[in-house]
């Protein structure tokens, strides 16, 4: 439970801040002051012990014991006017104060326990999950692709600090947690010890390096996939323990250069289709299936094999070997077959 508190599960309903609490307290004080002044101006309150009319402090005392429903009965309204004032002034004020008190108590105490319980339940379900550190255009596209590939939404965790980002991620149905992914306590709160993949895309390379170091220290077995914006920082991410490093600048530069070969570059159009979520073509990889062992890559139905990985080495299209058990193939397939 203590670890769950390190990262807060996002919900659109937020706890009241200091400004809201001060505003509510001010409203209660104003209501009490108006009520006391109204009773003092109206008169008609009698002290049953002495028989004298109630003084100002007596009106303050009567207001508090009446609104809190204590009602000792030592000071009572006498006459029609004071009794109507008690019925039509004190009763609404009493309900307003009580509702405001219980509403604040619910948000500050009960709501917090509910959030902790929801956080604990969400974390308990996580196993071999995916943590996405940072939620921008890259993080959103990665999550959409993961969902398209069949990753359960409750096994995808987004760590971000922006409320707008958290709300957008929550709308996708994934687990959204408010917290800094570079902090150990936040990573521990989302079961970093049981994670399978960590996607790091915070928007800054120095932050990505720090997150990668923290993740690798907490879970040496996790596959760390990091986004790198500057080519000079690739080595830093490699040393920090990132297994896979994606450089959008290099990829974008290659596509831009390819676009200069012809007036209308079919290569760029095809690559954009392959890289787009839900495109007509999809690039993927998988292990060779038992029925495919002994076949040539070109004999696999519905997939164009681009590369075969075997024992730490790989074979490109001109040298594709006969498939063996344990091989991994990288292939291009139609979006329909891919999504099926």
List the pLDDT tens digit at each of the 340 positions of the chain: 334 445 556 654 455 667 777 887 888 888 888 888 877 887 778 877 777 888 888 888 888 887 777 777 778 778 777 777 777 777 788 778 777 777 776 666 666 666 667 777 878 889 999 999 999 888 998 998 899 878 999 899 999 988 888 888 888 889 888 889 999 999 998 999 999 999 999 989 999 999 999 999 999 999 999 999 888 899 999 999 999 998 877 777 777 887 787 767 787 788 877 776 667 788 888 999 999 999 999 999 888 999 999 998 999 988 899 999 999 999 988 865 544 4
Whether the Cβ atoms of residue 271 and residue 254 lie closer than 8 Å to each other: no
Nearest Cα neighbor of 142 from 125, 129, 130 is: 130
The residue whose two tokens read 């495919």 is: 292
pLDDT at 13: 47
pLDDT at 115: 66
For 264, the token pair is 């209308």
- Interatomic CA distance for residues 177 and 337, integer angstroms: 34
pLDDT at 257: 81
CA geometry: angle 224, 226, 232, nearest 5 deg: 130
For 244, the token pair is 């896979």
CB neighbour burial string for 19-56, b if at least 16 within 10 angstroms, e if fewer: eeeeeeeeebeebbeebbeebbebbbbbbeeeeeebee
CA dihedral 260, 263, 267, 273 (to 10 degrees): 110
What Cα–Cα distance (Å) separates residue 256 from each residue in 141, 228, 245, 251, 282?
Answer: 21, 19, 20, 9, 21
Number of Cβ atoms within 10 Å of the Cβ of 105: 11
pLDDT at 200: 96
Phi, psi (deg, nearest 5) at residue 67: -65, -35
- Spatial strand order of the sheet with 8-9 comes to 8-9, 175-178, 156-160, 130-133, 197-200, 223-227, 244-246
For 3, the token pair is 């670890």
pLDDT at 7: 55
CA geometry: angle 166, 119, 5, nearest 5 deg: 90
Residues in the chain: 340
Burial of 219 (0-12, 13-18, 19+ CB in 10 A): buried
Per DSSP, the three-state class of 179 is coil
Nearest Cα neighbor of 38 from 98, 1, 2, 91 is: 91
Whether the Cβ atoms of residue 190 and residue 157 lie closer than 8 Å to each other: yes
CB neighbour burial string for 270-292, b if at least 16 within 10 angstroms, e if fewer: ebeeeeebeeebbbeeeebeeeb
For 329, the token pair is 């193939």
pLDDT at 295: 93
């Amino acid at each position: 439970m203590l670890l769950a508190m390190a990262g807060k599960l996002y919900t659109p309903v937020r706890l009241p801040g200091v400004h809201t609490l001060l505003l509510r307290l001010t409203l209660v004080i104003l209501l009490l002051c108006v009520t006391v002044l109204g009773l003092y101006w109206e008169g008609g309150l009698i002290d049953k012990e002495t028989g004298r009319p109630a003084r100002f402090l007596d009106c303050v005392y009567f207001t508090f014991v009446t609104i809190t429903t204590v009602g000792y009965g030592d000071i009572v309204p006498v006459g029609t006017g004071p009794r109507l004032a008690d019925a039509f002034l004190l009763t609404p004020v009493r309900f307003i104060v009580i509702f405001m008190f219980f509403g604040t108590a619910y948000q500050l105490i009960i709501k917090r326990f509910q959030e902790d319980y929801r956080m604990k339940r969400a974390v308990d379900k996580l196993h071999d999950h995916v943590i996405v550190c940072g939620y921008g255009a890259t993080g959103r596209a990665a999550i959409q692709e993961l969902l398209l590939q069949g990753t359960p939404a409750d096994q995808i965790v987004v760590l971000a600090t922006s409320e707008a980002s958290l709300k957008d991620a929550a709308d996708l149905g994934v687990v959204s947690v408010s917290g800094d992914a570079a902090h150990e306590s936040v990573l521990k709160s989302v079961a970093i010890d049981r994670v399978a993949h960590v996607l790091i895309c915070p928007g800054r390379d120095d932050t990505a390096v720090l997150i990668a170091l923290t993740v690798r220290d907490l879970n040496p077995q996790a596959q760390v996939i990091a986004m790198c914006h500057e080519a000079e920082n690739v080595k830093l991410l490699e040393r920090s323990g990132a297994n896979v490093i994606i450089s959008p600048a290099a990829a974008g530069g290659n596509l831009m250069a390819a676009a200069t070969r012809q007036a209308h570059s079919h290569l760029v159009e095809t690559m954009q289709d392959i890289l787009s979520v839900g495109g007509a073509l999809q690039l993927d990889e998988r292990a060779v299936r038992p029925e495919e062992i002994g076949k040539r890559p070109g004999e696999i139905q519905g997939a164009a094999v681009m590369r075969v990985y075997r024992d730490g080495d790989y074979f490109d299209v001109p040298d594709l070997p006969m498939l063996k058990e344990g091989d991994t193939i990288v292939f291009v397939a139609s979006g329909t077959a891919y999504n099926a």
